[in-house]
Structure 1
Amino acid sequence: MVNSKWSQILFKDIITLAALFLCNIILAFTTDHQQEQDRIGTALPGQNFNINFEHYSGYITVNKDVGRTLFYWFIEADHIDPTSKPLLLWFNGGPGCSSIAYGEAEEIGPFHINSDGNTLHLNPYSWNQVANILLIDSPVGVGFSYSNASSDILNNGDKRTTEDSLIFLLKWFERFPRYKETDFFISGESYAGHYVPQLSQVIVKHNSATKQNSINLKGYMVGNALTDDFHDQLGMFQFMWTNGMISDQTFKLLNLRCDFQSVKHPSESCEKIWEIAEKELGNIDPYSIFATPCHANDNQMVKGKHRVGNLRTVYDPCTSKHSTTYFNLPEVQRILHVHPDHRPAKWQTCSVVVAINWKDSPRTVLNIYRELIPTGLRIWMFSGNTDAVLPVTSTRYSIDALKLPTVSPWRAWYDDGEVAGWTQEYAGLTFVNVRGAGHEVPLHRPKLALALFKSFLAGTSMQTLEPPTLRTAS
């Protein structure tokens, strides 16, 4: 009886272990199969150069009930062992702009598009030289991301974008489990000034609630970031006036009539004075005030300046035009694994529909900084100093509002012996100003942006010149 009983127990244990073993094999096979389906095994259309790294693209469903699905492009580090390098998740802003269009195709990615819109060149300053890059079209309705419920595109906002991003990450790590232990960082620019700290906040909360599926978040970095409505507008008006772009009278009226409380819903009197300010600005690119406008695309630039309050949601230099041509090519979409039943009628760099129907946007995220700085995350903010939309003055006002002690004072940093910008280090936060860069720092100053990213990953100060050695008389 006893032997029979223990035999039954032992048999059950063996069956249980066998079932677990079989499940693990099935899971591993499924994961490998999904990865292989997403792997881009051939050259991209117009790619006439060789690469030594793998890249993948596909979809992650974040809500099965309505089929809400986000498109991603994952580019491994150009290294013999990419898992030894950090993993970076990159967001572009808008809200409603594609990280594939901007982040990959004209900023930090290796595949940049030539002026013909059909061929590619290798970006010599791609960030995948030092890290694995994960880009997603977020939220749903942006780029190649889609939902089976059309109402989803009309109901995006900060809260749902953050929740979907966390679900996306957890499922992505299931598909790419070898990166679970990799140091993980988040970065982005513009409206990603909301996405990045918000996602970092929910990851920290998620990690504190469960250790089994924790995400190895080490820090985040934002550039020319929407941070605080009051300081963003205050700094914007001051930047435009001090750079001689608007009149004294307009500057005074902007400060008087715009209450600095809501970028998204300005008053009627504020809108009227903004119309005057835009006329005074003239036909320049406010995202890079010293850059030559894209004359080849003037009509689209003028007609495409949609705004959410005082923030334009569409940045349209010529690089954006090239992306529009390239990512609408059927062969490009096929190789990127775009689902034929869910591809957009016309792929766009930014979705105006997403932008104008945005549901929730807090007036500040400084409260998140105050919450996360004590956790020890590496937090950096950078700013190109020729951007008039979210200028360096705005970022400095927001940092000042945090009232952080200074660890290392304001100083110039250098690249190849020349001043590349200025930097200051605070307790828990580092600020870097990039000289001559506009709203998209890696677009306008790619070499400096890569130097910045390397320092961020290493957690080291920006390079400064050693003081000259004083010669003594012999």
Structure 2
Amino acid sequence: MASPTAVRHLPFTILLVALSLLSVSAMVPHDRHRQEGDRVRFLPGQLRSPAVSQFSGYVTVNEHNGRALFYWFFEAQTSPAQKPLVLWLNGGPGCSSVGYGAASELGPLLVNSNGTGLELNKFAWNKEANLLFLESPVGVGFSYTNTSSDLDNLDDRFVAKDTYTFLVNWFSRFPQYKSHDFYISGESYAGHYVPQLAEVVYEHNKHLEANQQIHLKGFIVGNAETDDYYDYTGIVEFAWSHSVISDQFYERVKNVCDFKLSPTSTECGHVMDLLYHTYNEIDIYNVYAPKCNTDGSALSSSSSSSDRSAVEKEAKNKSKRRLRMYSGYDPCYSNYIEAYFNRMDVQKSLHANTSGRIKDRTWSLCSDPIFDFYDMEVFSVLPIYSKLIKAGLRIWVYSGDVDGRVPVIGSRYWVDALGLPIKSQWQPWYLKNQVAGRYVEYEGLTMATVRGAGHTVPQDKPAEALVLIKSFLSDTQLPAKNN
């Protein structure tokens, strides 16, 4: 099933290549001398040992508009010259990969529980790969533009083009990684970003000499927004099957909502708002986790909580009628994450907010303006999956199975809709002789669940997440009980 909106998406890569191929490839001269200038010697609150090889700073993606994206890069803990390069993207749209992915999920340095410093993550993904985190799109976190109209033009195409330009220019600064196997990863609304970026890289590579290509090998996404029809069907069925809504309300939603339509009806918008309201006293991102009960300060400092994003943000976003909520996850840690990255000594150490370019706003986990004005025009990225599976890319999809925001139910629906032949049947995988989740292998795609994890798998189940990324990168099956 492909909607008219999905069909409209398909030709853009051809146009994108035609418009940007030559200009991007010649935009920035080799500037490896800037690499060492981006090295982060030490961060406030960081333990002196063990050493962490890290870099951060800005990469210009549009010189004319003064648009630059902020990155944070960690070399692999061992043998970085032999390890692949993995780009991680958080969703939202408008949430920070620095604050979420790097500092609270899978990076080697996690902000501690009071925001005063950093602690070592023993399940960091840079045990298996060189890790690159990007604050995208422009306007998220420390990324900035000197041209305010850029923020009016944000959509999936804009983000894919900017991220590709970032990669080309980042490789100019870090040419030693240009020949490495490259993988793209991310979660939630990055379920749009990741495959669309992979498609852009794939299309560009077809027009480049081998030594100019990005060595894209595949991508992996978690709890990924992918196809509106299946994703929203999953939200409703998960809420019913987990006793969040009544039988009567479930029937009402089914009667008034046709998620194949974009935009949906006003009546559907109303009942979905009511559905989101039912999560006010539990956590939609992990329905079995304790609810964050504070005095409200966490909500005021970050917009990523389920309460506010489901109600206040949707009230401002009715015209889009896709009933979005932030892809961020906020189990009471927004305050200390934001406190840490708003410290001037931290920003100075990270080479962030140079020349006070974002002095008119504080750093936040998620950006209200980006979420409010982002044009979510792409209904489905399933056509891209079909295309890139045929191209031979390695593609994995994983889902924490207690996430109500992008439930595994919807993901199973859209994976099934791809119509791929099954290579190995649904079966458990294990960690320490306990079932860690289940997986099924198709011809061209692997889907895995993580038992007891919510929306942010590397945070909820870090050991299991490390096993996932190791298996993905090594192209091996998830472990059986005796492994």
Calculate the TM-score normalised by the size of structure 1.
0.89
Counterpart of 1:355 in structure 2 is 371
Cα displacement (A) at 1:360: 4.3
Query: Between Structure 1 and Structure 2, how many residues are aligned?
Result: 436
Cα displacement (A) at 1:343: 2.8
Which one-letter code corresponds to 1:234 in the other structure? Answer: T
Kept in 1: contact 2:401–2:454 (CA 8 A):
yes
Counterpart of 1:329 in structure 2 is 343
Kept in 1: contact 2:96–2:365 (CA 8 A):
yes
2:455 to 430, 433, 439: 439
Counterpart of 1:394 in structure 2 is 410
Cα displacement (A) at 1:272: 1.6
Counterpart of 1:107 in structure 2 is 105
1:31 matches 2:47: no
Q: What are the Cα deviations for residues 294-316 of structure 1, in whole angstroms up to 9, with x where unaligned?
A: 22364514445534632311532
Unpaired runs of 5+ in structure 2?
1-28, 300-304
- Of 315-324 and 387-396, more deviation after overlay is shown by 315-324
Counterpart of 2:223 in structure 1 is 224
Cα displacement (A) at 1:115: 1.8
Counterpart of 1:370 in structure 2 is 386
Counterpart of 2:137 in structure 1 is 139
Kept in 2: contact 1:324–1:349 (CA 8 A):
yes
Distance 1:104 1:92 in 2: 10
Cα displacement (A) at 1:154: 2.5
Cα distance change on mapping 1:275 and 1:375 into 2, 3 Å: closer
Distance 1:268 1:373 in 2: 37
Distance 1:131 1:166 in 2: 20
Identity %, equivalent residues = 44
Q: Report which of the two structures shows the higher radius of gyration computed on alpha carbons.
A: 1
Unpaired runs of 5+ in structure 1?
1-26, 468-474
2:325 to 291, 312, 315: 312
Cα displacement (A) at 1:261: 2.9
Q: Where in structure 2 are the equivalents of 1:445-460 lying within 5 Å?
A: 445-460=461-476
Kept in 2: contact 1:311–1:389 (CA 8 A):
no
- Of 267-276 and 306-315, more deviation after overlay is shown by 306-315
Distance 2:82 2:178 in 1: 12
Kept in 2: contact 1:297–1:318 (CA 8 A):
no
Secondary structure of 1:379's match? strand
Which one-letter code corresponds to 2:355 in the other structure? Answer: P
Q: What are the Cα deviations for residues 342-378 of structure 1, in whole angstroms up to 9, with x where unaligned?
A: 1342111011101111124310000001101011111
Cα distance change on mapping 1:35 and 1:209 into 2, 3 Å: same
Counterpart of 1:94 in structure 2 is 92
Secondary structure of 2:142's match? coil
Counterpart of 1:419 in structure 2 is 435
Comparing both chains, which one has the higher relative contact order based on Cα–Cα distances under 8 Å and sequence gaps of 6 or more? 2
Secondary structure of 2:131's match? strand
Kept in 2: contact 1:236–1:390 (CA 8 A):
yes
Distance 2:325 2:276 in 1: 12
Secondary structure of 1:154's match? helix
Q: Where in structure 2 are the equivalents of 1:267-286 lying within 5 Å?
A: 267-286=265-284
Kept in 2: contact 1:57–1:336 (CA 8 A):
yes
Secondary structure of 1:194's match? helix
Q: What are the Cα deviations for residues 34-57 of structure 1, in whole angstroms up to 9, with x where unaligned?
A: 01110111x211113423331100
1:191 matches 2:192: no
1:340 to 355, 370, 383: 355
Distance 1:290 1:356 in 2: 29
Distance 1:297 1:106 in 2: 22
Which one-letter code corresponds to 1:396 in the other structure? Answer: R
Distance 1:266 1:333 in 2: 42
Cα displacement (A) at 1:185: 0.4
Distance 1:181 1:203 in 2: 14
Kept in 2: contact 1:390–1:439 (CA 8 A):
yes
Distance 2:389 2:254 in 1: 31
Which one-letter code corresponds to 2:130 in the other structure? Answer: N
Counterpart of 2:208 in structure 1 is 210
Cα displacement (A) at 1:153: 1.9
Kept in 1: contact 2:309–2:325 (CA 8 A):
no
Which one-letter code corresponds to 1:284 in the other structure? Answer: I
Distance 2:288 2:48 in 1: 33
Q: Where in structure 2 are the equivalents of 1:130-169 lying within 5 Å?
A: 130-169=128-167
Which one-letter code corresponds to 1:198 in the other structure? Answer: Q
Q: What are the Cα deviations for residues 373-422 of structure 1, in whole angstroms up to 9, with x where unaligned?
A: 01111100000001001000010000000010000000010000000000
Which one-letter code corresponds to 1:322 in the other structure? Answer: Y
Distance 1:112 1:53 in 2: 12
Counterpart of 1:410 in structure 2 is 426
Kept in 1: contact 2:329–2:456 (CA 8 A):
no
Kept in 1: contact 2:91–2:188 (CA 8 A):
yes
Calculate the TM-score normalised by the size of structure 2.
0.87
Q: What are the Cα deviations for residues 93-139 of structure 1, in whole angstroms up to 9, with x where unaligned?
A: 00011100100011110111112111111111000111100011001
Secondary structure of 1:133's match? strand
Q: What are the Cα deviations for residues 216-268 of structure 1, in whole angstroms up to 9, with x where unaligned?
A: 011100000011011111111111101111011211121222221357x4421
Secondary structure of 1:95's match? coil
Which one-letter code corresponds to 2:274 in the other structure? Answer: I
Which one-letter code corresponds to 2:357 in the other structure? Answer: H
Kept in 2: contact 1:85–1:182 (CA 8 A):
yes
Distance 1:281 1:73 in 2: 34
Distance 1:352 1:50 in 2: 37
Distance 1:442 1:189 in 2: 10
Q: Where in structure 2 are the equivalents of 1:256-267 lying within 5 Å?
A: 256-261=255-260, 265-267=263-265
Kept in 2: contact 1:424–1:431 (CA 8 A):
yes
Distance 1:281 1:87 in 2: 38
Kept in 2: contact 1:380–1:456 (CA 8 A):
yes
Q: Where in structure 2 are the equivalents of 1:250-261 lying within 5 Å?
A: 250-261=249-260
Which one-letter code corresponds to 2:49 in the other structure? Answer: N
